[in-house]
Amino acid sequence: MRPRSESGLSGDPTFSSTLERSQPAHAYWFDRKKYVTVNFVVQKPKDVKVDIQTDKMILYCKNEEEDVFYNELHFFDKVQINVSTQLKRVYDRTINVLLRKIKPDFAWPRLQKNSEKPSWISVDFDNWRDWEHEEDDGKEEYDRYMDVKMSTNNKGPAPDMDDLSDVSKIKSSYVVVIIM
């Protein structure tokens, strides 16, 4: 039997028999300078329990069909376990967990400590960013902003607007057009 965790995942006597019929939830993860995000894919999760420790995380939940999901991750590096630095959100199709790294500015090459990759863990390439080689945070956005700003400055002189009438002098009038 697994050791009792803070969330009480193993406190239930039927827990070990439930674990025998469990399956892992598929997880997508991505790395940032200060955080690691793990998104577990479970359709309509309920009874969600997440136990986060400095070196591992345990997820236990069920879906609407009472299928049991159990994941145990041993992290590549340590994370902070303060309540203020971790965030868990449950949605209709996912359980999102945000973990704050103890060593910021250190890229994780993989999510788990063990180099063997389980089939249920994938990199979230839609959210992945190679931040290691960026000089400053937001440099790419700043460069794009400056490109747009420079392109708008090179369009020639501003149009002459002397022919526009003053809005206060315009009287309201309606034109009705009938098309037959």
Stated pTM of the model: 0.64
In a domain, 57, yes or no: yes
Determine the 3-state secondary structure of 137 from DSSP.
coil
Q: Could you tell me the pLDDT band of residue 173, with boundaries at 50, 70 and 90? A: low
Centre a 10 Å sphere on the Cβ of residue 111 and count the other Cβ atoms it contains. Answer: 23
Residue type, 35: Y
In a domain, 176, yes or no: no
Number of independent structural domains in the chain:
1
Residue 178's pLDDT is what? 73
In a domain, 166, yes or no: no
Which residues touch 71 (CB under 8 Å, ≥6 apart)? Answer: 24, 25, 27, 40, 57, 58, 59, 120
In a domain, 37, yes or no: yes
- Expressed as residue numbers, the domain containing 25 is 15-129
Strands (E), the chain: 26-31, 35-41, 46-52, 56-62, 68-74, 87-90, 94-100, 121-123
Q: Could you tell me the two tokens for 9?
A: 């995942």
| Chain segment 25-77, per-residue pLDDT in tens | 999 999 988 889 999 999 999 999 999 999 999 999 999 999 999 999 999 99
Domain CATH code at residue 84? 2.60.40.790
Looking at per-residue confidence, does 32 or 138 come out higher? 32
What burial letters (b/e) apply to 62-83, b meaning 16+ CB within 10 Å?
beeeeebbbbebebbeebbbee
Looking at per-residue confidence, does 146 or 89 come out higher? 89
Whole-number Å distance between alpha carbons of 69 and 24: 5
Q: Span 6-14, mean pLDDT?
A: 51
Contact present, 41 and 124 (Cβ < 8 Å): no
In a domain, 141, yes or no: no
In a domain, 78, yes or no: yes
In a domain, 66, yes or no: yes
In a domain, 48, yes or no: yes
